[in-house]
Amino acid sequence: MRQSWLEFEPGLFVKVLAVVFALVVLGIAVVVRVYGDITTTDLVGTLICAPLVAYLVHLWLQPQEG
């Protein structure tokens, strides 16, 4: 059976998610430093979007088969 190139790879996803969350923490630190405050809505939106971005990057980084 042929595997799809859009298959989920947990190892790659965890690595990408770690990098994305590191960038999120850095970005939030910069925003707090510049503006002095961050709202709960910003934090919730960031925590919802970060795994989605990590998943898309994970798909983009998968080796192309074909």
Q: Quick one: pLDDT at residue 1?
A: 46
Contact, 65 vs 4, CB < 8 A?
A: no
H-helix segments, the chain: 10-35, 40-61
Q: Half-sphere exposure (CA, 13 Å, Cβ side) for 26?
A: 6
Higher-pLDDT residue of 37 and 7 is 37
Task: Write out pLDDT tens, residues 10-63.
Answer: 999 999 999 999 999 999 999 999 998 999 999 999 999 999 999 999 999 987
pTM for the full predicted model: 0.82
